[in-house]
Amino acid sequence: DAQQDFAFSIDHCSDVASHTFNIRAAMILRHSIKELYAKLDLIINGKTVLTYKETLCGQGHDKLIFCGKKKGEHLYYEGPVTLGIKEIPQGDYTISARLTNEDQVLVACADFTVKNYLDY
């Protein structure tokens, strides 16, 4: 994102879907997080098939350790992630994530794409 300093890495990409893998993500906040809202879209082969919205930070909704962080502070996460998916059907899959604050300002965004075209 042109308005964020964001870094993301995955230790191993082989067979990511069914195994645990370690990620690291870091960013410098350009906007404070008093309230934070997430919108996730699942896009399969170019078509949005699912949209999910959730309040992550706000009164009674502080689900993340970085709720309340101020502009200029650093966010950092390092740890394991397990998707637990047995098999991904062939196709292009994109998860589009948008995080906005109480002023509807885009705090962070990311698109994660998996392309699965294995020949059996």
What number of other Cβ atoms are within 10 A of residue 111's Cβ? 11
Instruction: Spell out the domains of the chain, with CATH numbers in brackets.
Output: 7-116 (2.60.40.770)
What is the DSSP code string of 52-96?
EEEEEESTT---STTTTPPTT-EEEEEEEEE---S---SEEEEEE
CA atoms within 13 A on the CB side of 48: 8
Mean pLDDT in runs of 10 for the chain (120 residues)? Answer: 57 58 79 88 88 88 78 82 67 85 85 69
* Euclidean distance between CA atoms 16 and 109, whole angstroms: 22
Looking at residue 120, its pLDDT comes to 45
Looking at residue 1, its pLDDT comes to 46
* Euclidean distance between CA atoms 81 and 77, whole angstroms: 11
Looking at residue 12, its pLDDT comes to 57
